[in-house]
Amino acid sequence: MIEEGRALFLQIAESVEDSIVDGSLPEETQAPSTNELASFYRINPATAAKGVAMLVEKGVLYKRRGIGMFVAPGARDRLLAERRSVFADRFVEPLLIEARKLGLDTEDLAALIRDRAAAHVATSTEGNAR
pLDDT digits (tens, 9 = 90+) for 68-126: 999 999 999 999 999 999 999 999 999 999 999 999 999 999 999 999 999 988 887 76
Query: Per-residue pLDDT for 128 more than 70?
Result: no
Rounded CA gap, 44 and 35, in Å? Answer: 9
Question: Residues 45-68: pLDDT tens digits?
Answer: 999 999 999 999 999 999 999 999
Give 63's strand partners: 69
φ/ψ of 60, rounded to 5, equals -85, -35
Rounded CA gap, 36 and 24, in Å? Answer: 16
CB atoms within 10 A of CB 13: 23
